[in-house]
Amino acid sequence: LVSEALLPYAQRGVRCHYLANIDGSEFHELSANLRAETTLFIVSSKSFNTLETLKNAMAARTWYLAQGGSEAELYRHFIAVSSNKAAAVAFGIREENIFPMWDWVGGRYSLWSAIGLPIALAIGTANFKELLSGAYTMDQHFQTAPFDKNMPVLLALLGVWYGNFWGAQSHAILPYDHYLRNITKHLQQLDMESNGKSVLQDGTPVKTNTGPVIWGGVGCNGQHAYHQLLHQGTQLIPADFIVPVVSFNPVADHHQWLYANCLSQSQALMLGKTREEAEAELRGKGLNEADIEKLAPHKVIPGNRPSNTLVVERVSPRRLGALVAMYEHKVFVQSVIWGINAFDQWGVELGKELGEGVYQRLIGNLECSAEDGSTQGLINHFRSRHRG
């Protein structure tokens, strides 16, 4: 998110790539664009035992050596960010090449820590400090502003209002900026991993709905896809529009049209179109009364659909830092209102635990059946296709 959002601030000669997926196809496509002698691999893992990260690190090591790199020069191409220094050293990374991080920082809250090293390399230390400064400014606003003027608190209360009192089950994030195209994915993890909980802090079941489904994408593209459901669907879906006033890359009057599209979509959600307006519109086009009666109901748009419009002058390090921090505090406020813990993720851990057993059965090291017939059937199918 941050490296893409701040691409206009990128350092010359530095290209930053990310690899989190364990899918070999992604590694293949990415490594095809790299040169071993000019590539630095940053292995970022708090615990240094995350399966996907370690598997990709091993693949990177193998790739580097296959490209002509040497064991003696490995230390110049591999560094780590981790709270588990011993594990990183055991992996083969020199102790002086390990950037420590706090063990209490969850991944979704970690870009401000040493995990943000790739950002600092991509945009430079001065810009990285601006990013932190913007976040700090939002931190101070959150801590000191009265609730009726406190942006994270207001956004959180709006979310609780629409979710718990009006039945909204999802929330759309609609950035009208190409560089912010990944903010929806970031907020999916931030919100859904934090507040996807069903027990209170004391372990008793919650009595209300908690975190909503976060989804969305680049605004103008969405207008030709899911905006239709926002306007005329049966579900109430609040939306956040995010738009800059100034474009980094003005082309003719494109940005004026982009900004106009953002405002007109939020306006349409709010105002809608009444039956009378639809009928008058059709009469103005010369349709007869029978056709008007048939077509008008389809053109009625309920309106009164909630949205927030977040306007930034342009996406700078400082403003992006404030924007991301604002959403972090919003998620925290909602967790407090619901009485849940925003800082654990035991559901994620269960999948990891079960994955080890499935893997051992796939490769034949564990002959006992899986815990359920469905999973065992899928394991058997995989093994039947990989025999020999």
Interval 323-367: pLDDT, tens: 999 999 999 999 999 999 999 999 988 988 899 999 999 999 998
Instruction: Locate 317 and state its tokens.
Output: 């390090």
Characterise 169 by phi-psi region: left (phi > 0), alpha (psi -120 to 50), beta (else): alpha
Q: What is the DSSP letter of 249?
A: S
- Alpha carbons within 13 A on the beta-carbon side of 301: 20
Q: What is the mean pLDDT of the chain?
A: 96
- Alpha carbons within 13 A on the beta-carbon side of 261: 21
Number of H helices, E strands in the chain: 17, 7
Angle at 231 between CA 230 and CA 234, to 5 degrees: 70
Residue 388 has pLDDT above 70, yes or no: no
What pLDDT does 175 receive? 98
CB atoms within 10 A of CB 212: 21
Alpha carbon distance 70, 166 (integer Å): 62
> How much is the average pLDDT of 72-94?
93
What pLDDT does 25 receive? 97
Alpha carbon distance 53, 279 (integer Å): 59
- Residue 359, Cα to own-chain centre: how many angstroms? 28
What pLDDT does 103 receive? 87
Which percentage of the chain shows pLDDT scores above 70? 100
What pLDDT does 50 receive? 86
Interval 94-140: pLDDT, tens: 999 999 999 889 899 999 999 999 999 999 999 999 999 999 999 99
Characterise 226 by phi-psi region: left (phi > 0), alpha (psi -120 to 50), beta (else): alpha
The sign of the CA dihedral 370, 373, 378, 384 is: positive
Interval 139-159: pLDDT, tens: 999 999 999 999 999 999 999
Q: Which of 160, 285, 383 is nearest to 171 (CA)?
A: 160
Decide if 81 contacts 44 (C-beta within 8 A): yes
Interval 221-256: pLDDT, tens: 999 999 999 999 999 999 999 999 999 999 999 999
Non-local CB neighbours of 187 within 8 Å, separated by 6+ positions:
173, 214, 327
> How much is the average pLDDT of 63-81?
94
Residue 53 has pLDDT above 90, yes or no: yes
Residue 71 has pLDDT above 70, yes or no: yes
Catalytic annotation, residues:
193, 224, 352
